[in-house]
């Protein structure tokens, strides 16, 4: 009986018994706490918990599921698989225990000729919850099952709950006896290898609270509406009905395994490790295909990472089976043909799904070619040196430089009998993440090998229509995902899109990329970035907000008008600042870089000295006078020689073609080569407010400014602050600076007097502290807590003073205090004490340990601290005890 037929018989049976048949939910779970749909009941949780009213009182379905927690066990047991299908029937306040048990038993034991699954009653056993007398009575008295084939088990085996306070209940599980060849007799309570669970009937009747663990919770009452949640594993039923040994040999999985056997030339059933690899391939290919069909694409995070891991484990398993050539075209086609009867979408969307799979294989083959050799050498060196652990730095090098996944490194090392220093690897990964955040601007995005753009560039340059228009009609010329060309991209994907013409500005000349969208019939793409990966070609990085975008689709580029307007203002303002700098500083103040985005500009220029406040103000004034004069902004396409003759400024190191775009503001006053977008009149800029001037190297400075509305808002905020200060200090605005200077002078004078008083007060405590000295062994010891202190320096000063007053006999001053809630200990020893063996550094470490911290210093004076201020007396006592025993 084929797997698809088993599923259809299941649905037909429950439809005949008044159940609404619903389609499988996506493998991508709606539950934000789950990456995938990991069980058949996941889509039903809102109904089972009563959060959402059930649409029907009775439901039946075949639910797709993915579990990867036990991925290393795949292929090694008969039961572990990543993708599986769960047959479920559900009752929401309708039938309960007797109905669920009757339906399950009838479907299982009705002959195949009469539409059932044809299991022999003598091969079936059941378990019930240890206190569920009702369920046992139904099985025994109504179904007629022999009492010796009904077993009671505890919470660990026969009680279900979500792991959260709410509904739960006992369950009853149905097992199939595979016979004595698979284990000892005695039922599922004795051997769950011989007795295989095929159906679980959950009787959701209790309300539970105080969950402390899987079996530790309190049943506090009954649910007002009792539900039925059942699940029968389709793959388990299939391999039992098909008379094979495991799920990998069923009709939906075995064709992939057989194709892997053909490609490898090895025999299934000959070598155990080969058999495991064949089963891994069969399982992972099917799982990957099903994930692809639900819109998941291989990436380095989240769901995409799981898919990538499955696909890359497949590639490596085939290599270990001796196949170095690409195999996905054969393996994925075999899986498609095996699964399409149940999931027709696999055939209708084959072009899209296969292109994603094939591209991932090719990407990983390149990774393996580089990484495998390096890893093998590293493992050999580790063995030769007598080591048992591959260093974390070597594992990180493989990951960071060659893209070799750590999971694969762990597996290869394990096969070689070695471990990997995972903690060191994780530490290096964390360091890398920190560096990546700090350097995000320089590594804004990771472009694929530029060869992927070759064919697109060969079709001609991308036409930029954005100088005059904010929208233009175009078409999808190319789609790139993870560095590989694909036929389409689906909702949720991130891809690069190539168009023959666009109005979206690609980041260049210091101007950041436009914001906007690309829309067409049935899809909308949010533009994340626009770049020129190769000269003459514009690539749009997009997030598919809705629908599916495919090659040759008609598309319209739409620029975010407000963002573009503000970007134009900032870019034109940069030209004005450049001209103002040259007016003020001279022609030596040449441009070395710039950044323009909506509302903000920065301009780097060659200059070795900080600008004075007066010079900054002059530059700002010249710039804003140019804004007020409403200077005309014009652009001309001219030859490079012509532009140079006209005196156009060019950015040093920038490559220009024979034909360039020259931007004039106010005629020759500002004349630069620039491909960016600009205002038509300087008055459109509105306002330029210089907010910073700083060094960016030994001979380069940077000016930063806000532009337009952002500049106005900044100035308005400053005006508010000035007004508040003026009111608080009771001084007119023009006198604020002198008033603040006066206050600062008064504050410094007060702080000086306070410091003098504190020093005098500290010195006044010294006689009393010296008087408190006790004889401890060979030493005179002062071990006292000072209580609250201003700082550690206060304690240190007193300890040194006390040590000096204690004289030349062996003496130790150990003083503690609490500053800002944290305990401090300072120990000072004189020469005689050190000669007797009292070392300040060792003593302070002892005290700091009591305080829950650390410390150190020299033999004569040392300081430590901790977190537990209440332990300060104990810390000082520990010092005395140590000296007494010395």
pLDDT band at 352 (very low <50, low <70, confident <90, very high): confident
Cα 333 from Cα 853, distance rounded (Å): 63
Is residue 483 predicted with pLDDT exceeding 50?
A: yes
Structure tokens given for 616: 């900054």
Is residue 49 predicted with pLDDT exceeding 80?
A: no
Is residue 652 predicted with pLDDT exceeding 70?
A: no
Q: Which stretch of 74-88, 102-116, 545-559 has the lowest confidence by average pLDDT?
A: 74-88
Cα 649 from Cα 591, distance rounded (Å): 9
The DSSP secondary-structure symbol of 104 reads: H
Query: pLDDT per residue over 223-250, tens digit each?
Result: 878 999 999 999 999 999 999 988 999 9
Highest mean pLDDT among 351-355, 589-593, 661-665, 753-757: 661-665
Q: Would you state the CATH architecture of domain 576-714?
A: 2-Layer Sandwich (3.30)
Residue 109 exposed, middle or buried by CB count within 10 Å (0-12, 13-18, 19+): middle
Query: pLDDT per residue over 138-184, tens digit each?
Result: 999 999 999 999 999 999 999 988 777 778 899 999 999 999 999 99
> Phi-psi region for residue 243, left (φ > 0), alpha (ψ -120 to 50) or beta?
left
**In the chain, % of residues over pLDDT 70:** 95
Q: Which stretch of 263-272, 576-585, 691-700, 714-723 has the lowest confidence by average pLDDT?
A: 691-700
Residues forming beta bridges with residue 817, ordered by sequence position: 824
Cα 232 from Cα 730, distance rounded (Å): 81
The DSSP secondary-structure symbol of 865 reads: E
Q: What is the pLDDT of residue 653?
A: 40
Q: Which stretch of 657-666, 693-702, 724-733 has the lowest confidence by average pLDDT?
A: 693-702
pLDDT band at 80 (very low <50, low <70, confident <90, very high): confident
The SS3 of residue 585 is helix
Strands 58-66 and 20-21: parallel
Who has greater pLDDT, 299 or 252? 252
The DSSP secondary-structure symbol of 512 reads: P
Residue 788 exposed, middle or buried by CB count within 10 Å (0-12, 13-18, 19+): exposed
Average pLDDT over residues 721-750: 89
Query: pLDDT per residue over 700-710, tens digit each?
Result: 689 999 999 99
Binding-site annotation, residues? 571, 575, 674, 678
The SS3 of residue 444 is coil
Q: What is the pLDDT of residue 305?
A: 85
Average pLDDT over residues 326-341: 96
Q: Pick the closest to residue 406 from 418, 422, 430, 419 (CA basis).
A: 422
Average pLDDT over residues 13-36: 88
CATH 2.40.30.130: does it fit domain 450-559? yes
CATH 3.30.930.10: does it fit domain 3-246? yes
Query: pLDDT per residue over 261-297, tens digit each?
Result: 999 999 999 999 999 999 999 999 999 999 999 888 8
Cα 38 from Cα 265, distance rounded (Å): 35
- Could you tell me the end-to-end alpha-carbon distance of the chain, in angstroms, rounded to an integer? 86
Cα 761 from Cα 708, distance rounded (Å): 58
Structure tokens given for 71: 């991925």
Average pLDDT over residues 334-339: 97
Average pLDDT over residues 517-540: 92
Q: Which stretch of 515-529, 569-583, 589-603, 619-633 has the lowest confidence by average pLDDT?
A: 589-603
Cα 550 from Cα 532, distance rounded (Å): 21
Strand order in the sheet with 670-673: 633-639, 659-665, 670-673
Q: What is the mean pLDDT of the chain?
A: 89
Average pLDDT over residues 628-642: 92
Cα 770 from Cα 570, distance rounded (Å): 70
Q: List Cβ neighbours of 483 (8 Å cut-off, separation of 6 or more).
A: 359, 363, 448, 449, 452
Who has greater pLDDT, 10 or 641? 10
Structure tokens given for 208: 């539970």
Query: pLDDT per residue over 106-139, tens digit each?
Result: 999 999 999 999 999 999 999 999 999 999 999 9
Residue 879 exposed, middle or buried by CB count within 10 Å (0-12, 13-18, 19+): buried
The SS3 of residue 783 is strand
Binding-site annotation, residues for Zn(2+)? 571, 575, 674, 678
> Phi-psi region for residue 260, left (φ > 0), alpha (ψ -120 to 50) or beta?
alpha
Is residue 833 predicted with pLDDT exceeding 50?
A: yes
Q: What is the pLDDT of residue 410?
A: 86
Cα 254 from Cα 260, distance rounded (Å): 10
Which CATH number applies to 759-885: 3.30.1490.190, 3.10.310.40, 3.50.50.60, 1.10.10.10?
3.10.310.40
The answer to whether residues 81 and 72 touch, using CB atoms and an 8 Å cutoff, is: no
Q: What is the pLDDT of residue 587?
A: 79
pLDDT band at 79 (very low <50, low <70, confident <90, very high): low
The answer to whether residues 778 and 886 touch, using CB atoms and an 8 Å cutoff, is: yes
Average pLDDT over residues 76-84: 80
Query: pLDDT per residue over 415-461, tens digit each?
Result: 888 889 998 888 887 887 666 445 433 333 333 346 678 778 778 88
């Amino acid at each position: 009986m084929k797997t698809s037929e088993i599923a259809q018989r299941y649905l037909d049976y429950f439809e005949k018994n008044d159940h609404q048949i619903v389609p499988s939910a996506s493998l991508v779970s709606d539950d934000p706490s789950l990456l995938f749909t990991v069980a058949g009941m996941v889509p039903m949780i809102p109904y089972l918990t009563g959060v959402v009213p059930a649409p029907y009182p009775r439901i039946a379905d075949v639910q797709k599921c993915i579990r990867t927690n036990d991925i290393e066990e795949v292929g090694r047991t008969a039961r572990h698989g990543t993708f599986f299908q769960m047959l479920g029937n559900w009752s929401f306040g309708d039938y309960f225990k007797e109905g669920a048990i009757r339906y399950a038993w009838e479907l299982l034991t009705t002959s195949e000729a009469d539409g059932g699954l044809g299991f022999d009653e003598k091969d079936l056993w059941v378990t019930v919850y240890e206190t569920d007398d009702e369920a046992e009575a139904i099985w025994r008295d109504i179904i007629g099952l022999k009492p010796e084939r009904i077993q009671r088990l505890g919470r660990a085996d026969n009680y279900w709950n979500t792991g959260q306070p709410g509904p739960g209940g006992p369950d009853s599980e149905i097992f199939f006896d595979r016979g004595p060849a698979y284990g000892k007799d005695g039922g599922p309570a004795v051997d769950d290898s011989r007795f295989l669970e095929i159906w679980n009937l959950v009787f959701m009747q209790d309300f539970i609270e105080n969950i402390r663990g899987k079996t530790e919770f309190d049943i506090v009452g009954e649910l007002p509406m009792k539900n039925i949640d059942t699940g029968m594993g389709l793959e388990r039923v299939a391999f039992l009905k098909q008379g094979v040994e495991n799920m990998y040999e069923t009709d939906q999985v075995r064709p992939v395994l057989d194709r892997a056997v053909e490609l490898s030339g090895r025999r299934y059933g000959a070598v155990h490790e080969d058999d495991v690899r064949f089963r891994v391939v069969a399982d992972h290919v099917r799982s990957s295909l099903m994930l692809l069909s639900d819109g998941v694409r291989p990436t380095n995070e989240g769901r995409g990472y799981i898919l990538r891991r499955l696909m890359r484990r497949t590639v490596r398993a085939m290599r270990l089976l001796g196949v170095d050539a690409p195999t996905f075209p054969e393996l994925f086609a075999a899986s498609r043909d095996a699964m399409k009867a149940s999931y027709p979408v696999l055939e209708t969307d084959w072009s899209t799904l296969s292109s994603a799979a094939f591209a991932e294989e090719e990407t990983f083959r390149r990774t393996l070619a580089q990484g495998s050799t390096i890893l093998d050498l590293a493992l050999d060196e580790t063995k030769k040196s007598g080591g048992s652990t591959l260093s974390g730095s070597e594992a990180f090098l493989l990951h960071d430089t060659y893209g070799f996944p750590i999971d694969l490194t762990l597996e290869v090392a394990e096969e070689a009998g070695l471990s990997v220093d995972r903690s060191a690897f994780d530490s290096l990964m964390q360091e890398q993440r920190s560096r990546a955040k700090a350097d995000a601007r320089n590594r804004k995005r990771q472009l694929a090998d530029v060869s992927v753009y070759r064919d697109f560039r060969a079709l001609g340059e991308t036409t930029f229509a954005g100088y005059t228009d904010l929208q233009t009609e175009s078409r999808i010329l190319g789609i790139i995902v993870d560095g590989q060309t694909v036929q389409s991209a689906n909702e949720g994907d991130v891809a690069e899109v190539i168009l023959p013409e666009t109005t979206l500005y690609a980041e260049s000349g210091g101007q950041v990329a436009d914001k906007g969208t690309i829309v067409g019939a049935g899809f909308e793409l949010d533009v994340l970035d626009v770049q020129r990966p190769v000269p003459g070609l514009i690539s749009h990085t997009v997030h598919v907000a809705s629908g599916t975008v495919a090659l040759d689709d008609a598309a319209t580029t739409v620029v975010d008008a407000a963002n573009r307007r503000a970007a134009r203002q900032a870019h034109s303002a940069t030209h004005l600042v450049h001209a103002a700098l040259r007016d003020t500083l001279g022609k030596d103040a040449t441009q070395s870089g710039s950044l323009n985005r909506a509302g903000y500009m920065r301009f780097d220029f060659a200059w070795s000295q900080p600008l004075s406040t007066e010079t900054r103000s002059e530059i700002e004034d010249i710039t804003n006078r140019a804004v007020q004069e409403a200077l005309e902004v014009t652009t001309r396409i001219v030859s490079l020689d012509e532009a140079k003759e006209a005196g156009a400024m060019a950015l040093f190191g920038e490559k220009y073609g024979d034909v360039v775009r020259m931007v004039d503001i106010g005629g020759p006053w500002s004349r630069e080569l620039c491909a960016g977008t600009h205002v038509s009149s300087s008055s459109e800029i509105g306002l330029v407010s210089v907010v910073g001037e700083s060094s960016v190297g030994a001979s380069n400075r940077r000016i930063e400014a806000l532009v337009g509305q952002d500049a106005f808002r900044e100035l308005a905020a400053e005006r508010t602050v000035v007004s508040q200060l003026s009111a608080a200090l009771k001084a007119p605005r023009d006198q604020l600076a002198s008033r603040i200077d006066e206050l600062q002078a008064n504050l410094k004078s007060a702080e000086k007097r306070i410091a003098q008083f504190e020093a005098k007060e500290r010195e006044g405590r010294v006689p009393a502290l010296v008087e408190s000295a006790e004889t401890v062994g060979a030493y005179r010891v002062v071990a006292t807590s000072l209580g609250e202190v201003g700082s550690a320096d206060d304690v240190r000063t007193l300890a040194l003073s006390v040590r000096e007053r204690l004289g030349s006999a062996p003496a130790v001053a150990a003083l503690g205090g609490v500053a800002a809630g944290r305990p401090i200990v300072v120990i000072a020893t004189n020469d005689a004490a050190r000669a007797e063996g009292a070392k300040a550094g060792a003593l302070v470490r002892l005290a700091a340990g009591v305080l829950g911290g650390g410390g150190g210093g020299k033999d004569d004076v040392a300081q430590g601290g901790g977190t537990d201020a209440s332990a300060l007396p104990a810390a000082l006592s520990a010092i005395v005890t140590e000296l007494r025993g010395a």
